[in-house]
Amino acid sequence: MKYPLDCEENFSKTFLFWLTRFIRSKITSLSNRQVKDKDRLAQLIKQLIIGFDSIVELKKVIKEVRNIGINSIHVYYVPLEKLYTFLNSYGAASMKEIDEELLSDFLASQTSNLSDATKKNYRIAIITFFSYIDKQNEQSNGNAYRYGIELKNWGGLSGKSGQKLPSYMHKEEVNRFIKAIDTYVFGEKIADRNRLIIKIILYTGIRVGEALNIEIKDLVKDGDTYIIQVRGKGNKPRIVMIKESIIKTNLDNWLNMRVCNQNLLFCNQKGNILTQAYISRIVEKILLSVSIRKEKNGAHMLRHTFATLLYQNSKDLILVQESLGHADINTSRIYTHFDKDRLKKTTDIF
């Protein structure tokens, strides 16, 4: 039997529902050679089928399952319990708010002091969990919501080398990329849509997921600029701005041909929401067309580029934090590493 993605009255209960069903599926697939009390295990599985009202109840069952003899279940449960706590602290309201970027943030913040082997276990647990949901959920229209979580670009392993600085484009590369956006050959029906979404991400620094969820009503013209309301992590709203001249032609052309469901600004040719993977692919193609190669050539690199150039031009870390929608200013602080004017002072100390 399949269930809607957001099948309970709130996010906490919904995540607990999916976690409980996933744990049950893992218990029945893991080796049971060491099981000491098969009758008790059957009773515990029945409890998992019924479900729980709190994570505390589930945790007690997991502990007993381990004691009975299925020791490896904690490899899946522990990372997902911590993810449950992490997402609740963010104030998530829907399972659809979860994406690769949010999961990478979780891994970066929660596994920094762990061994590489344990980090790999966290990654595997998360990928397996969302793969299970991909196969077991069903929307009202009969389609399934697909996460497609891969976490290929998560750089948390080999922690001894320290945190990597994000990839970004220098000003000269940005100029080449901007020209390439308008000259790269797309299909006639998708050209203005693709150029519009890439420009909005580059010029505002919003996350790819935030751009994909923009609705028509979120775009408001104010003089010679557009104000865009986006919903960030935890469904927290903020506004960003972009000059009308940058997007006017692409926006007008796209609005004349778009046929999207649920009032989305961007959609595929079936009217459904675009995927983050698709946006990253077209960004990478444009980058390569003008010989720009970075360690990470996806769409999220545009956000790092925006933040880096914003800090270099403004030297205002609060502005960077507010523009990117970071809850903690320490998350924004990494962009100070690219302040060449400040670093040049170190050359004169003697």
So which residues are the catalytic ones? Answer: 207, 233, 300, 303, 326, 335
Return contacts of 124-131, CB within 8 angstroms, 24+ apart: 124/75, 125/75, 125/76, 125/78, 125/79, 125/80, 126/79, 126/80, 126/83, 126/151, 127/151, 128/22, 128/26, 128/76, 129/18, 129/19, 129/22, 129/76, 129/80, 130/98
Backbone angles phi, psi at 35, to 5 degrees: -65, 130
- Pairwise CA distance, residues 339 & 268, whole Å: 39
Question: 3-class SS at 273?
Answer: coil
Length of the chain: 350
CB atoms within 10 A of CB 301: 23
Residues 6+ apart with CB under 8 A from 212: 197, 264, 266, 273, 274, 275, 276, 279
